[in-house]
A and B are shown apart, each in its own frame.
Chain A
């Protein structure tokens, strides 16, 4: 049993079968990549996992519990954190404030009425957020407005915010899309380091083969909403069906 079990998931948008009979099992403490050409249904699948979309049929179990019908914030509280295709951070707030918010969410839950407490006096949160900023090599930017940072730094901050919650499953949707090569490599290194340092399961959706083959331990190939094959990177590289459906196209 994997930490994430997707069984017979179907999702239609009008006449379009975006997901058809998707079965997927992500083993604990692995990096699992989901690849496939544009429009294959990768983002749709991810949206099903985080509660943004409800599938027409099928089940999604995380750690033995169903996630279907739960709101995104509830699914996050179960231990799934998500990184978006374009970095979603709190642009109006400082980097430090950005980092403290997930720490509060982890400690206090989805809602806490503490209007008279003082942020500065929550030493556990301040320390945790600072430590995370040090880990992310962003501590010198702590007073900066998050919106004024470079795309690469925003991505780094977003990943740090997700990690500060100590999630059991980290979902990344094309984390290097639109990035320059150097930023892409930095992100790969960061993810490798994250994986090496802690017990975490990572599911990554990616278009960039360089990223996929640098990180993934297992790969699922999605085409037209249906998983084509699932195997190790080496096997996937040589798989004829995959070459035909996907690699051949982009090579």
Chain B
């Protein structure tokens, strides 16, 4: 279907069904129950799942396929957001022009940065991209204030007078009148599910982005990107020019980041420079590696995983912990709570760092590899002795 083989079609359908029913799946606990804090089915968070999913899918096209680790992809996210907000200011609150322009502007910006950064590979490439992103971040705060509105962040003012904004149009981002922030709430017994317009727009675009990424993975172009990662020497002596391939991958992944940025602005019409900061660039690296770099579904899983736990862990506080462990005697409860409280709330970064280390050390293939291992355990095949390709892990190359 759609030019995909059976396995890929199944994967796409599974992801589509999950995205479609996310409002149910993410809200398994009744609204008033104690477990409701683990629900994730509210619009703001669901939007972030799919938007950062898009960001990570795009990042994976560069990093997962070519092995070039960009540490500056947040710059494209930020540029996309600025482009979208400018469209709101100039044309009006319909999100279509903003989303289109965010992709184009990020693509052009990526072409520029990629052209220069790709003169180097390895760590030097990473540092160049990081330098460019930090420069963009610093400039957005300073000299570019007329475009970015500096520290305040770019937003739409009532004095803006957009070209196509009529009196009857909603005064918030909308898609031909469909207001992004509006939701339909469905109550079933003690449960409550909300279906948000913005989420569904983002989810549809995420599916399109995911579909295109599958096509890229299965294309001759994608094969060449994997060749870049595997052996550039052989590639050059096989009559292939590695540079335009990597540059094209860089631009495509920049456009994905721009789309994510444009969608962030379409959900909440505000763009700030902090979106371009290196921590944001680092986050998409973590998402991709945590989920499984170079796999199709890994980045989506990684993005969902990180955004979910970021949200949950930030909500838990000291008194929640005391509530959970009140059944323990005080001399145990107090030190335990003291220890754990470093990992919650603002300490989420500590948890993320620990998790990341554990994954890199014990599960280098990320969550996808974890899933495969569990799958093998369940299907009862011999475990441990086989790696992903199904050949014994101990095979060495006697001739070498």
Contact = CB atoms under 8 A, between A and B. Distances in A.
* A joins B in a complex: yes
Interface of A: 50, 71-74, 76-77, 81-82, 84, 88-93, 97, 100-102, 104-106, 108-120, 122, 125, 144-145, 148-152, 161, 165, 178-180, 183
A132 to B, nearest CB: 13
A112 B398 CA distance: 38
* Most chain B CB inside 10 Å of its own CB: which residue of A89, A104, A106: A104
Contacts of B220: 100, 104, 108, 112, 114, 117, 119, 122, 125
A106 B399 CA distance: 31
A178 B399 contact: yes
Contacts of A183: 399
Given A115-B252, A150-B399, A145 B391 contact: yes
Contacts, number: 131
A236 to B, nearest CB: 29
Interface residues of B, number: 37
B222 interface: yes
A90 B239 contact: no
Interface stretch (B49-57, B186-194, B223-231, B325-333): B223-231
B241 to A, nearest CB: 4
Best-surrounded residue of A72, A101, A105, A112 (most CB of chain B within 10 A) = A101
Contacts of A161: 238
B238 A115 contact: no
Chain B binding surface SS class: helix
Given A72-B236, A101-B240, A106-B239, A150 B398 contact: yes
A11 B93 CA distance: 66
B215 A118 contact: yes
Q: Which 6 A-B pairs have the closest CB atoms?
A: A151-B399, A76-B239, A90-B230, A110-B241, A105-B239, A92-B230
B219 A115 contact: yes
B354 interface: no
Contacts of A109: 239
B384 interface: no
A131 to B, nearest CB: 18
Contacts of B146: none
Interface string B60-74: 000000000000000
Contacts of A110: 239-241, 244
Nearest to B400: A151
Contacts of A144: 391
Contacts of B207: none
Contacts of A113: 221, 248
Contacts of A108: 220
B239 A165 contact: yes
B399 A118 contact: no
Contacts of A119: 218-220, 222-223
Contacts of B230: 90-93
Listed residue (A90, A106, A112, A122) with the most chain B CB atoms within 10 angstroms of its CB: A90
B397 interface: yes
B237 interface: yes
Contact of A76 (B215, B221, B231, B237): B237
Contacts of A76: 236-239
B159 interface: no
B380 interface: no
Given A88-B233, A152-B399, 8 more contacts: A71-B236, A81-B237, A90-B234, A108-B220, A110-B239, A117-B221, A144-B391, A148-B397
